[in-house]
Structure 1
Amino acid sequence: MNKRGFASDNFSGVLPEVMNALQEANQGHVMAYGGDPYTDSAINKFKHLLGNNIDVYFAFNGTGANVIGLSTLSQSYHSIICPSSAHIQVDECGAPDKFTGCKVIPIDTPDGKLSPKLILPQLHGFGFEHHSQPKIISITQCTELGTIYQPEEIKAICDLAHQHNMYVHMDGARLANAVVSLGVDVKEITANAGVDVLSFGGTKNGMMLGEAVIFFNPELSKEAKYIRKQSMQLCSKMRYIGAQFDAMLSNDLWLKTARHTNKMAKLLETEVAKIPQVKITQKVEANGIWAIIPKDKIENLQNEYFFWIWDENAGEVRWLCSFDTTEEDIHSFVELLQKELAN
């Protein structure tokens, strides 16, 4: 299956700049476990981007990054509040529950976004020994439905959390797409908004593997290195993750890549919106489109341009664009879509 489909930005290959960085790092011997110049350079770039007072821990994947961040800020008697569509709730096979021991409390949302109004009913039982203690609010930027929190929305959630001696975790697997969509400095939706720990995505934005866990207050991350090791996320040859991030954070590559994927999604939105049988269900704010199409047409379309079904009962599908999606891919897919829906 070599044709570029619209299933996931995980289906794409590796950015040429990242592959070149891996080749360059693949020379000679360097210290293991992060004591290498590539990791050091990448961490310095993160500090330039997000502030000098941060702690950075590299992990293999997004689930591992989320587990490290959540485990470091919690005890097993705590609870974690998240949207019912959150990756930590739906797509991580219970890893956050297992490794943190926490009760995960999902909240239904119409657009994947939490708000103080939705969160407040869960903020009770503080100090009551029979009740799991609310400790972390986890949000995703961009959300699992492709929507984006505005800076003031994130700040409102962080203010609410901190008023109750709680923390805010952000799953930023597609953070780059949110930054370019909003046109803001990344600090405006992370550090300056009050986020405590961030999973900074790399894989979905063109890396081979690797995510970064960012703590905005080093006082909170004193145990993180032990938790990373116990979580089996400490990479011995860390230079290969460090070199990738070093390339991504050079010359704003991470933003250029996301800007392209967002642009392709907007083009796809424009074209499919012309087709009466297609109903777009969410705002197209990043690199994905959620749409309802006739159920009996899905399989034929998937055979040509693979994509995932989001809600089988409703006939809702998800189309995601990647760094290597082209305008030709969009137009060819839309042509096929028009042909199938006309029959």
Structure 2
Amino acid sequence: MSTSLHAPSAANDPAAHDPSAHDPSVLHDPSVRGFASDNYSGVHPEVLAALAAANGGHQVSYGEDAYTAQLQEVVAEHFGAGAEAFPVFNGTGANVTALQSMLPRWGAVVCAASAHINVDENGAPERVGGMKLLSVPTEDGKLTPELIDREAWGWGDEHRAQPLAVSITQSTELGTLYTAAEIRAIADHAHSLGMKVHVDGARLSNAAAALGTRFRDFTTEAGVDVVSLGGTKNGLMFGEAVVVLDPRATEGLKYLRKMNMQLASKMRFVSAQLVALYGSDLWLRSASHANAMAARLRQAVDATDGVRAVRPTQANAVFATLPTDVADRLRERFRFYDWDRDAGEVRWMCSFDTTEADVDAFAAALREEMAR
């Protein structure tokens, strides 16, 4: 993914607004909206309330607190008895620590070429995790047993990193979804080759909401070994969790979490957020709303002459092509990323706090710029 950011115009620049119009301690204009990333959104009010509630008094540090204990119960409800959660600070930390615990030092991971671990984690899997990524080009961001076989070979060859894990993303970086049957086929095939299966679930909630299924339906019951459970993209301030579904798939995870600087001393504030999100239907409400806003945006895109949606809109992402000059002008009003600038492809993301008015305003601006 190309992440060439264009400077925002004065319309999106907080300095261009009268600072006396709002609390001087607020350094941004809360009315400014964007479609660049679901990381741009703020914290869900229910999560903020959970953080405030967790703030009183003292709790034992490094995970021996009531909120982390409650998180284990919440995770078991979603993924089944025996599932264990290891809260971490961020998605990169979750992915690297999870995969590192699944592999010996000579191990390699088969992943899609578009996978976040391959494209957007700045070498962390290789340099911090010490593993080799064996990436496979895909049309839709999804691996299949046949695609895995392109790199799943060479066992016993001392000159080749040993392919011992498969990592898939749900929903994928291209906004597509795996069905439970597709993940089961991958897991069965990987396990038959002696490989383990990891799911990067930064947007796992969006996938479950779109599929109308439980998390366990396309993870635990589909044969997945370890999941990186996302929260930041769905309304948390920070925090994710490595969820171990099969304890035989990992080794030394609690030590690796510390080594990788992902062990929070005040872990209650990570766990309290995850409990607020997954201990109620907040995850489903927020993800369903983001998906619905993406569907609304997709309808507007399809109705706009000269703009072409180029990938399925299955979760909370819309991919489209449009003239580069139009994209550059539109970006002055609403921030978003180029996905493939040479092809004129852009990505628009919707969040838990994206409103119908936000989508309609963006669609109107798109039509205006296309008419120029």
For this structure pair, what is the TM-score category when the shorter chain's length is used for normalisation? over 0.9
Amino acid corresponding to residue 66 of structure 1 in structure 2: N
Cα distance in 1, alignment partners of residues 278 and 69 from structure 2: 13
CA apart distance, 1:130:
2.0
- Correspondence for 2:127: 98
Instruction: Call closer, same or farther: CA 1:70–1:284 in 2, change over 3 Å.
Output: same
Structure-2 residue corresponding to 1:200: 229
Superposed CA offset, 1:246-288 (max 9, x none)? 1112321111100000000000001110012111111000000
For 2:166, the equivalent position in structure 1 comes to 137
Runs of 4 or more, structure 1, over 6 Å off, are none
- The CA deviation string for residues 194-248 of structure 1, in whole angstroms up to 9 with x for no partner, is 1111000000000000001011112333410000000000000000011101111
Hey, what's the Cα distance between the residues in 2 that align with 1:75 and 1:166? 12
Aligned position for 1:55: 84
- For 1:242 and 1:78, the matched residues in 2 are separated by 31
Cα distance in 2, alignment partners of residues 255 and 138 from structure 1 = 24
> Counterpart in 2 of 1:302?
331
Matching residue of 2:61: 32
Unaligned runs of 5+ in 2: 1-11, 13-28
Q: Please give the alpha-carbon distance, in whole angstroms, between the structure 2 residues aligned to 1:311 and 1:170.
A: 25
Distance in 2 of aligned mates of 1:298 and 1:88: 27
Whether contact under 8 Å (2:125, 2:132) holds in the other structure is: no
State how far apart, in whole Å, the 1-side matches of 2:270 and 2:280 are.
Answer: 18
Distance (Å, rounded) in 1 between the aligned partners of 2:159 and 2:325: 50
SS at match of 2:332: helix
The match for 1:234 is: 263
2:361 maps to: 332
1:158–1:194 Cα contact (<8 Å) kept:
yes
How many residue pairs end up in the alignment? 343
Segments of structure 1 that go 5 or more residues without pairing to the other structure are none
Give secondary structure in 2 for the equivalent of 1:199.
Answer: strand
Q: In the TM superposition, what whole-angstrom CA distance separates every residue of 1:127-180 from its partner, at most 9, and x where no partner exists?
A: 222221110111000000000001111111101110011001100000000001
The equivalent of 2:17 in structure 1 is none
Letter of the 2:68 counterpart: T
Partner AA of 1:289 in structure 2: V
CA distance in 2, matches of 1:102, 1:146: 26
Distance 1:41 1:123 in 2: 39
Determine the structure 2 residue equivalent to 1:173.
202
Write out aligned runs for 1:131-280 (5 A). 131-280=160-309
Secondary structure of 2:213's aligned partner: coil
CA contact (8 A) 1:75 1:100 kept: no
Q: Deviations over 1:7-61 (max 9, x none)?
A: 0000000000000000011111110001111111122111111112112100000
For 1:74, the equivalent position in structure 2 comes to 103
Q: Which moved more, 1:321-330 or 1:213-222?
A: 213-222
* Most deviating of 100-109 and 258-267: 100-109
**1:32/1:237 contact within 8 Å kept:** yes
* Mapped pair 1:14 → 2:20: no
Partner amino acid, structure 2, of 1:339? E
Which whole-Å CA distance do the structure 2 matches of 1:149 and 1:50 have between them?
17
TM-score, normalised to structure 1's length?
Answer: 0.98
| In structure 2, distance between residues paired with 1:340 and 1:130 | 54
Q: Which residue of 2 aligns with 1:118?
A: 147
Structure 2: distance between partners of 1:105 and 1:219: 23
Q: TM-score, normalised by structure 2?
A: 0.91
